[in-house]
A and B are shown apart, each in its own frame.
Chain A
Amino acid sequence: MRFALAIGTFLILFIHGVVLYNQFSHKWERHQIAYFDQARAQAKSDAERAALEDRKPRIEQTVVADFGETRVARCVTCHIASDDPRFSGYQQPLKTHPYSVAMGDVQKDGRWERRHKFSEFGCTVCHDGQGRGLSPEFAHGNDEFWPDPLLGYATQPTWRKDLVPMLRGKEYLEANCAQCHPGSEFKGTPTVNRGMQLFYASNCYGCHRIEGMSDGTIGPDLSEVGRKFKIDYIYARIKDPKSVLATSIMPRFNMLNDEDIKALVIFLKSRKGRNFSETEMERYHLRATGGAELVQAHIKPVAINPAQMVKQGEQLINDRACTACHKLGAKDGAIAPDLSFEGLIREPQWLDAHFRNPRSTMPDSIMPSFRFTEDEFKAMTAYLSGLRTAPPAPTPEATYKALCLRCHGEKGDGRGPIAEHLDPSPRDFTKAAFMNSKTMTRLVGSVRKGVAGTSMPAWGKLLDEQQATNLLGYIQTAFVKEARTDLKPHTVPETNPVPSSPESIKRGQATFVENCAGCHGKRGDGKGPNSLDILPKPRNLRNAFFLETVEDKRLFDSILYGVQGTAMPSWTDYGFDNNTVGDLVNFIRNLNPKPKGGQNAGTI
C-alpha cells in the first residue's frame, strides 16, 4: 500500500507539474517574444529598443462596445504585429494585416493609415471567430461547436469534405462588411451584391421571405439565416436541399454553378436580422412596409418585343428557373408537372391566370406568385401555348408512362415522383373499390376533360374517346387488377330537392360541423384533425373550380352512399336522408362563390 501511495503522490505531483507547465508556457508567449526580438532588431532608435526591452509577454485585448454586444478580441495576443507595417513579409501569426484602398485605408507621406482602426472595431466584427480564445483552435472557431468560425478561413471537422474548398476565400468576409454597408450598390461587397441579384433572378424570393426584401411564404424566412446557420449548412442546403433535410421540398437549382451558390451563400450569410447601420426608426419603417416594392425594384424586367414574344418567353422560362421545379423537354426539376406539351392540355387564359396567381386556378397549388411584368407573363404564356407536340405513345402502356406516370406513379398507386407536391393527391388506381364503383363514362370524362381545380389536366386533345378507354383498360389490368362488375344503381335525386335559403344553409352548417368537420375541417377546407391519417386526403370543399364541375347528383351520391376506396362512409347508415343532404349541399355550395375563369370543362 505504501508503494501505491508513493506512486499516487508522484502522479499528483507530476500532473501539477504538467498543468503548471501548460499554464506558464503558452504558445502566444513565444509569438510575442519572437515579435519583440524581431522588432528590436529592426528598431531605429535606442529609445525604441529600450521600450521593447521592457515589454513582457501578456494577454493583449481590444474591447469593442460599439457594434452590437460587447466584443472582446484577444486576437492581437498572437497577431501582435497586425498593425506594425514592418512585418508585412512575415508568416502568420506575425504578419501585418494588409492595407487596402478598397477598405478605405489611405497612404499619407509613405505611411498607411487605416480607415477601420483595430482599436475601434476589434477583429471579430469583420472576421468572426471566437475573440476570447487564446489557442488557435478555439480562437479561430475550428471546434465544431463555435457558431461563427473565422469567415472564409476556418473550417470545422463536421463540415462536408467535398464542400470545404468552396467554403474558403476572403469573399466570405463581405458578409460582415454588409453588416455596416448594406447598400446593394456598395462597391466593396461585389459578391454580396451578386448574391442578392441571384436571389431575385433565381426566383428565391418567390418562396422565401427576407425582411424588407421579399415576402414569399412557402419556404423558411431567411431574414436571420446568417445569424442562425454556418456557411457549410447554407451551402449544402442550396446545393442539394434533400441531402441536408430529407423532407425538404426545395428544388435543386441546377443552373447555378458553384460560384453562383457561393455568392448566394455570402449574401445569405449577411442576413443577420438586423445590421449595425440601421436605426430603430429605419427598422420600424422596414417592418411596416414589408418589402413588396423592394422586390419589384430588384427584378430587372425584360422589354418584350411583340414580334419576338414566343422566343423571349422561352428565354424567360429558361432564365427564371422554372425548370427547377417543372419538366420541360430534357430539363426536369422533379417537383411540378411536365410543361413539354402544355399547349395541348391548358388554355392560354388558364395559363395567364395561373401565372399571375397560381391559386386563382388551383386553390391548393404550392407554386409561388412571381412578380413579373404584364408583358413577361404574356410572353411566357405565348411560348407555353405553342408547345403542342404530343409525345409519341403508340400503346396504352406507353401513353400511361408518357402522360400519367409523373403523378400517378409507376405502380399506379398515386405516388408518382411529384405526387407529394400535389394537392389534392393523384388518384390511387390500386384502390379497386373506388375504380370499380365509378362509371366508365365518369372515368373517361376525368381523363378527357380533366378534374377542375386540380393538377389533372384535360387530355382530350391528346386522347380521343377510344384511346382514353384503352388507357383505362390498361390501368384496369395493370393496377386495379379486379374485373369491373355491373354497378348497382343508387337512388339519388337528379337535382337538390331543398331550395337554397339562409335557414337551409344554417341547418347544413350544423350538420356539417357535427358530422363532417372531423375530416373536412370546420372551414370545409379538407384539413380537419383526422385528415392527417387519411389517404386520399378529404376533399377541399372550398375548391370552387372543382365543385363547379360536380353536379348535385354526384354530391348526393357521395354523401349518401360514401366513396368506396376512401374514408368517406355511407351516410345513409347514419340516418341521413335527402333533406339532410340537401341542406348540406346548399351549405357547401354557399362556401364557394362562382369562380371567374379557371379550368372549364367544356373546352375540348
Chain B
Amino acid sequence: MSKAADKTSILAAVKELPGNVWKSIFRNPLPTNDLERSSTSFTNFFLHIHPVKVHKNSLRPAYTLGLGLISFFLFVILIVTGILLMFYYVPSTSQAYDRMLDLRGTVAFGTILRNMHRWSAHGMVAMVFLHLCRVFLTGSYKKPREFNWVVGVILFLLTLGMSFTGYLLPWDQLAFWAITVGTAIAGYAPIIGKDIQFLLMGGTSVGQEALLRFYVLHVAVLPAILTLMIAIHFWRIRKDGGLSRPADADPTPPMEMMGASADPKPVQLEPRKTYGLQGLVRGPLTKVNNIPDNTVFSWPNLFLAELFVFIMTLSAILVLALLFNAPLEEPVNVMHPPNPAKAPWYFLGLQEMVSYSAFWGGIGVPGVFVGLLFITPYLDRSPKGVGKWFSRDRLLANTIFISFVLANVVFVIIGTFFRGPNWAFVTPW
C-alpha cells in the first residue's frame, strides 16, 4: 500500500519536476492581479531594484529617450564580450597583435565578438554623453538628485577611461599612436602632467609597461569601479524618488488615513517619492492601488519597456558588428607615426584644441568644463524647470551647456574629418 503510494508520489514528483523547479526559482506565478504584480517585482533579485509602481512620466519615451538604459545594456554587452575576448588576449607587445590576427582569422566567433565589443564601446561613450545631456537639459540634476548627478559625471569620466584604456590593447598603429597622443595630452597638465603621463605609461614612451597597465585598468580596475558606481547610481535613483518629473505631473497630495484606528495619525503621502510596497503598509492590511497618483505597476509596463530597449540595443550592435569590422591596422612601428596621428574620436575635440594651445586645449578648457559639470547642481539652486526639455526657466543654464557641447562636437568633427597630414586643414571630399 505504502509502496504503491511511494511509487505514485515519485512518479508524480517526476511529472511535476519542471513545474516545481520553476516554482522554486520564481516564487510567483505570472501575475494576474495587483498583489502578484507587486510581489513579482520585489521577490525577484533582478527586478527588486525596480519600484513596484513607476510614475507614468518615467515611462514616456520622449522624456528619457531610454539613454541611461541603453548605456547600461551596452555595458552589459561589453562585459560579456569582453570576458570572452579575455580568453584569447595576451597583454604582451610581442603577442597582442598576433592574438588580434587569430581573433580575426581563426578563433570561432572571434570577429563578431571583437566587432561587438568595439562598436559597443564607441556606442557607450556616445550614449553616456547623450544621457548626460538629457539629464542636464531636463534640469534633472536639481534637488534632491544633486549627488546622483555627480555620480553620473564620474561614470561618464570612467566610461571615457574604459574606452581609452581599451584602445591600446590591439597593439596596432591606430592604438599605439592614439594612446601616444592621448597620454601626451595628459602631459600638458601643469606641474603634475609629466608625472601623470609617466604613471599612465610606466615609462617615457608607450611600450610593454603601458600595455600591461592599460590592460589591468581596462579589465579589472575600471570595470570594478564602474560597476560599483552604477550600483550607487541606480540605488540613488530609487532613494531620490525615481526619475525626475515636472511638478504638475502629480495630483494634489491627498490626506489619507492609513491603516486601522491603532494609529489614527494622518499620514501625508509625499507625492515626489515612489513608494515600495512596504512603504505603504502601516497597519495590518496591505492596501494596494488605492492611492490617487499617476503611477502604474512596473510589471509589465516598466519591464516590457526595458526589454524593448535591450532588444533594440542588442539588435543595433549586432547589425553594426555584422556589417562593419573593427579596424586593425599595421602592427606597431615606433619609427613610423601615421601622419596625422589621431587620438580616439572622443578625444579629437581635445586634440583639435591642443593644436591651438597645448595647455588650454588639453587641460584648461576640458578641466573647466568637467569642473563646471561637477558643481552645476550646487550652483544652480533654483527649483524651477525640472522635468521638462528645454524649460524656459532654464534658458541661461541650457544655453551655456549647449554652447559647450556644440563647441566640443564641432571640434570633434573638425578633428575627425577635416584634419590631414601635419594637422593641416583638409576637406574630406
Q: Do A and B bind?
A: yes
Tell me the residues in window 131-178 of chain A with beta carbons closer than 8 Å to chain B beta carbons.
Answer: 132-135, 138-139, 145-147
User: Please, which residues of chain A bring their CB within 8 A of the CB of B108?
Assistant: 23
How far apart sit A147 and B336, CA to CA, in the bound complex (Å)?
12
B414 interface contact, C-beta 8 A: no
B307 interface contact, C-beta 8 A: yes
Q: Mark B315-350, 1 if CB is under 8 A from A, else 0.
A: 100110010000011110101100000000000000
User: Please, which residues of chain A bring their CB within 8 A of the CB of B304?
Assistant: 1, 5
A6's nearest neighbour on chain B, judged by CB, is B311
Q: How far is the CB of A224 from chain B (nearest CB, A)?
A: 9
A59 interface contact, C-beta 8 A: yes
User: Please, which residues of chain B bring their CB within 8 A of the CB of A12?
Assistant: 311, 314-315, 318
B307 contacts A5, C-beta separation under 8 Å = yes
How far apart sit A310 and B215, CA to CA, in the bound complex (Å)?
71
A130 interface contact, C-beta 8 A: yes
User: Please, which residues of chain A bring their CB within 8 A of the CB of B105?
Assistant: 74, 130, 132-135, 138-139
B104's nearest neighbour on chain A, judged by CB, is A138
Task: State which of B109, B315, B333 has its C-beta within 8 Å of the C-beta of A11.
Answer: B315
A8 interface contact, C-beta 8 A: yes
A8 contacts B331, C-beta separation under 8 Å = no
B109 contacts A130, C-beta separation under 8 Å = no
Tell me the residues in window 261-318 of chain B with beta carbons closer than 8 Å to chain A beta carbons.
Answer: 304-305, 307-308, 311-312, 314-315, 318
How far apart sit A19 and B312, CA to CA, in the bound complex (Å)?
18
A146 contacts B106, C-beta separation under 8 Å = no
Tell me the residues in window 188-234 of chain B with beta carbons closer than 8 Å to chain A beta carbons.
Answer: none
A9 interface contact, C-beta 8 A: yes
B314's nearest neighbour on chain A, judged by CB, is A12
A145 contacts B330, C-beta separation under 8 Å = yes
B146 interface contact, C-beta 8 A: no
User: Please, which residues of chain A bring their CB within 8 A of the CB of B330?
Assistant: 145-147
A5 contacts B328, C-beta separation under 8 Å = no
A130-B315 CB under 8 A given contacts A5-B307, A228-B335: no
Q: How far is the CB of A232 from chain B (nearest CB, A)?
A: 14
A130 contacts B318, C-beta separation under 8 Å = no
- Count of A-B contacts judged by CB separation below 8 Å: 67
Q: How far is the CB of B49 from chain A (nearest CB, A)?
A: 22
B102 interface contact, C-beta 8 A: yes
B101 interface contact, C-beta 8 A: yes
Task: State which of A8, A74, A138, A146 has its C-beta within 8 Å of the C-beta of B315.
Answer: A8
User: Please, which residues of chain A bring their CB within 8 A of the CB of B308?
Assistant: 1, 4-5, 8
Task: State which of B101, B319, B322, B333 has its C-beta within 8 Å of the C-beta of A133.
Answer: B101
Q: How far is the CB of B155 from chain A (nearest CB, A)?
A: 26
User: Please, which residues of chain A bring their CB within 8 A of the CB of B329?
Assistant: 145
User: Please, which residues of chain B bring their CB within 8 A of the CB of A15?
Assistant: 315, 318-319, 322
A132 contacts B101, C-beta separation under 8 Å = yes
User: Please, which residues of chain B bring their CB within 8 A of the CB of A297?
Assistant: none
User: Please, which residues of chain A bring their CB within 8 A of the CB of B104?
Assistant: 133, 138
A131's nearest neighbour on chain B, judged by CB, is B101
A134-B106 CB under 8 A given contacts A19-B112, A145-B329: yes
User: Please, which residues of chain B bring their CB within 8 A of the CB of A9?
Assistant: 311
A145-B102 CB under 8 A given contacts A1-B308, A19-B109: no
Total interface residues on A, CB under 8 Å, equals 27
User: Please, which residues of chain B bring their CB within 8 A of the CB of A4?
Assistant: 308, 312
Q: How far is the CB of A15 from chain B (nearest CB, A)?
A: 4
How far apart sit A464 and B315, CA to CA, in the bound complex (Å)?
88
B328 contacts A145, C-beta separation under 8 Å = yes
How far apart sit A68 and B386, CA to CA, in the bound complex (Å)?
66
B106 contacts A74, C-beta separation under 8 Å = yes
User: Please, which residues of chain B bring their CB within 8 A of the CB of A132?
Assistant: 98, 101-102, 105-106
Task: State which of B101, B305, B307 has its C-beta within 8 Å of the C-beta of A130.
Answer: B101
How far apart sit A74 and B173, CA to CA, in the bound complex (Å)?
24
Tell me the residues in window 76-118 of chain B with beta carbons closer than 8 Å to chain A beta carbons.
Answer: 94, 98, 101-102, 104-106, 108-109, 112
Q: How far is the CB of A150 from chain B (nearest CB, A)?
A: 15
A281 interface contact, C-beta 8 A: no
How far apart sit A159 and B331, CA to CA, in the bound complex (Å)?
19
User: Please, which residues of chain B bring their CB within 8 A of the CB of A72?
Assistant: 98
A139's nearest neighbour on chain B, judged by CB, is B105
How far apart sit A145 and B102, CA to CA, in the bound complex (Å)?
16
A146's nearest neighbour on chain B, judged by CB, is B330
Q: How far is the CB of A119 from chain B (nearest CB, A)?
A: 20
B109 contacts A23, C-beta separation under 8 Å = yes
User: Please, which residues of chain B bring their CB within 8 A of the CB of A135?
Assistant: 105
Q: Mark A509-539, 1 if CB is under 8 A from B, else 0.
A: 0000000000000000000000000000000
Tell me the residues in window 1-58 of chain A with beta carbons closer than 8 Å to chain B beta carbons.
Answer: 1, 4-5, 8-9, 11-12, 15-16, 18-19, 23
4 closest Cβ contacts across the A-B interface?
Answer: A8-B311, A132-B101, A15-B318, A133-B105
Q: Please list 20 pairs of residues, one from A and one from B, whose beta carbons are closer than 8 Å in the complex, sorted by A's number.
A: A1-B305, A5-B304, A5-B308, A8-B312, A12-B314, A12-B315, A16-B318, A18-B322, A19-B109, A19-B112, A130-B105, A132-B102, A132-B105, A133-B101, A133-B104, A134-B105, A138-B105, A145-B330, A147-B333, A228-B335
Given contacts A9-B311, A132-B98, 14 further A-B contacts (CB under 8 A): A1-B304, A1-B308, A8-B312, A8-B315, A12-B315, A16-B318, A23-B108, A74-B106, A134-B105, A139-B105, A145-B172, A146-B330, A147-B333, A228-B335
Task: Name A's B-contacting residues (CB within 8 A).
Answer: 1, 4-5, 8-9, 11-12, 15-16, 18-19, 23, 59, 69, 72, 74, 130, 132-135, 138-139, 145-147, 228
